[in-house]
Amino acid sequence: MLLLQFSTSHYCRKARLALGYKGISYEVENLTPGLHRIKLKPMTGLTTVPVLLPQVSGLPDAIADSTEIFKFLESYQPEPSLLPKPEQQTAAWMLEDWLDESIGTATRFIYYDFRAGVGKQIDPSWFSQLLIQVVRRQYQINAATVNLAKQRIKLALEVLKPWQEQPYLVGESLSVADIAAAALLSPLALIPEYRQEYPWLFARIKEIHEICREPLPPGLV
């Protein structure tokens, strides 16, 4: 299998964690932001990564969107399962969808705001700072939208509080909800305020990366 990705994207991390959890071997192709659209649009109708190419006859050529990749992997190789028992699956998918649609976007806003300001020294090169400015313009990241994102993350960290007492958000095994949370909140690992206030969050993110045999995200290495 081949995963088309941006190496730094937390949505691509989400797909890699699921592939790693299932022990499926795959290769990655890192696309160049901007040029990626020329390749992806005709292939999937979308312009976002991750995109998984199963490269197996009889299977779809390309699967776009990390949630669709979860569903594909679950049917392609059911064990170990990414889902809890049947009566808990709706709860797991609802959490996964909210993390994907709302929280992954909020962490992006907070992360790029940090990288352009206090966290500029992580990579002050003109190329990196230019890329950060392009992303800020693309997603309309500004003081007001970052403030809203911070409120959403505050709520998210209340919702994820079960992680303080137990390893899994839903049921008795790792599920799509845990993997989505671990990947989509991982950009916060570089931000000192979050590291200080929520040590349990980063302990859990680390543990899930180890279970999924995925290298740790920046800030946790």
Ligand X SMILES: N[C@@H](CCC(=O)N[C@@H](CS)C(=O)NCC(=O)O)C(=O)O
Q: Which residue has the tokens 């800020």?
A: 136
**Closest to ligand X by CB, 14 or 204:** 14
CA distance 205 to 130: 29
Would you give the binding string for ligand X spanning residues 128-147, x where CB under 6 A is met? Answer: --------------------
Q: To the nearest whole angstrom, how small is the minimum distance from the Cβ of residue 87 to ligand X? A: 26
6 binds ligand X (CB under 6 A): yes
**Closest to ligand X by CB, 57 or 140:** 140
**Count of residues binding ligand X (CB under 6 A)?**
12
**Closest to ligand X by CB, 133 or 164:** 133
Which residues on adjacent β-strands are paired with residue 4?
29, 51
Q: To the nearest whole angstrom, how small is the minimum distance from the Cβ of residue 26 to ligand X? A: 16
What 3-state DSSP class applies to 3? strand
Q: Which residues contact 171 (CB under 8 A, 6 or more apart)?
A: 84, 85, 88, 92
Q: To the nearest whole angstrom, how small is the minimum distance from the Cβ of residue 120 to ligand X? A: 20
What 3-state DSSP class applies to 198? coil
Q: CA 95: distance to chain centroid? A: 13
**Closest to ligand X by CB, 48 or 88:** 48
Q: Return the structure tokens found at 102.
A: 């709302």
- Give residues 42-81 in contact with ligand X (rule: CB under 6 A): 47-50, 65-67
Q: Which residues of 138-167 are buried (b: 16+ CB within 10 A; e: fewer)?
A: eeebeeebbeebeebbeebbeebeebeeee
The sheet with strand 27-30 has its strands ordered as 27-30, 2-5, 51-53, 63-64
**Closest to ligand X by CB, 34 or 86:** 34
Would you give the binding string for ligand X spanning residues 78-117, x where CB under 6 A is met? Answer: ----------------------x-----------------
Contact residues for ligand X, defined by CB under 6 A: 6, 9, 11, 37, 47-50, 65-67, 100
